Amino acid sequence: FGGGTIRVSDLPLELGSDLGGSIRVPGHFCGVFGLKPTEHRVSTFGHIPELPGKPKTIRHLQTIGPLARSVEDLRLCLSLIQGLDPQQNWLLPIPTEQFKLENLRAYRYAWTTGFGDIPASTETKRCLEKLALSLENLGCCIEEHNPPNLDFTVATETYSDILRFEFGLSQVNQQQYEHALHKRHRIITDLEGFLSDWDVWLCPVVPIPAFTHRPSGEPIEIDGKQFPYLKAIGAYTTLFNLAGNPVIVLPQTLSQKGLPIGVQVVGRRGSDMRLIAIAETLTQITGGFQPPPGY
């Protein structure tokens, strides 16, 4: 609800939790900015209460972050909510460095129109292509790439195994869980290795533009083909929950039907403040918040 609240009300800022895209997908659908921080940068204590007398189990995938009408407000909110929490001793210490805004040409950009087995719609692809061309025309270093060593099918399966074990959703045993964590570590290594050559990776948020309300679970149509709802909606978001990367969603444009289309800006783990600076610079191309009709 946070994205819609920010779009249609006087509320400038809202908090969300992102287990598979629940900050980024509303940002995309509602035409607002959203930040999924690096995992363990913001405490999740109390968000999903632990059962009395049971061990703490929810350690991965889930992140708390802001939705807002500007990148500046994302930065402000993160500075207030990040940091150590005695209730969660696995949280990361926060670097103190600040990053000033640079020229767009100061950064190296990788981009993609999608990955895995769910294709992006033609309209979504054109939006990414237009953004890449705009950066290229400005003289930026930008190339189309996906991580060469990353098996997206394995990543999806690993995400599912960790999710089911930590939330008690199925009979994934301890050995299978530990194996999934080992696979997760390899995926993190592959993705961080890829991102070491680039300042950010630009990706679709969802394979299609925002759509009007529909019954829950109704299949998603992409260029005439039907795909399961949850699989399609999370096609490009769950990877970054698994790997723990910081991601910012920028509103990019409106679809032919006048509904929002966003873009994910992905950074290396721990690069949150630098990512925010790059995203703020990118708004010179993507623009800012566009109030809905009748606002």
Domains of the chain (ranges plus CATH)? 2-286 (3.90.1300.10)
Supply the pLDDT for residue 170. Answer: 75
Supply the pLDDT for residue 94. Answer: 82
Supply the pLDDT for residue 8. Answer: 45
β-pairing verdict for 33-36 and 63-68:
antiparallel
Q: What is the DSSP letter of 160?
A: H
Q: What is the DSSP letter of 145?
A: -
Supply the pLDDT for residue 91. Answer: 81
Residue with tokens 């996906």: 146
| Helices marked H in 234-271 | 238-243
Q: Residue 102 — φ and ψ, nearest 5°? A: -115, 175
49 half-sphere exposure, CB direction, 13 A CA radius: 3
Q: Which tokens hold the place of 181?
A: 């964590």
Long-range CB contacts for residues 19-22, cutoff 8 Å, separation at least 24: 19/61, 19/62, 19/63, 19/163, 19/241, 20/61, 20/159, 20/163, 20/234, 20/237, 20/238, 20/241, 21/205, 21/206, 21/233, 21/234, 21/237, 21/238, 21/241
Cα 94 to Cα 272: distance, rounded to the nearest angstrom: 10
Residue 122: what residue type? T
Q: Residue 14 — φ and ψ, nearest 5°? A: -150, 155
CA trace torsion 28, 94, 47, 172 (10° rounding):
90
Question: pLDDT tens, position by position, for the chain (295 residues)?
Answer: 455 555 545 678 999 999 999 999 999 999 999 999 999 999 988 887 776 666 566 789 999 999 999 999 999 999 999 988 887 877 878 877 677 778 999 999 999 999 999 999 999 999 999 999 999 999 999 999 999 999 999 999 999 999 999 888 777 888 999 999 999 999 999 999 999 999 999 999 999 999 988 888 899 999 999 999 999 999 999 999 999 999 999 999 999 999 999 999 999 999 999 999 999 999 999 999 988 777 6
CA 167-172-177 angle, to 5 degrees, is: 85
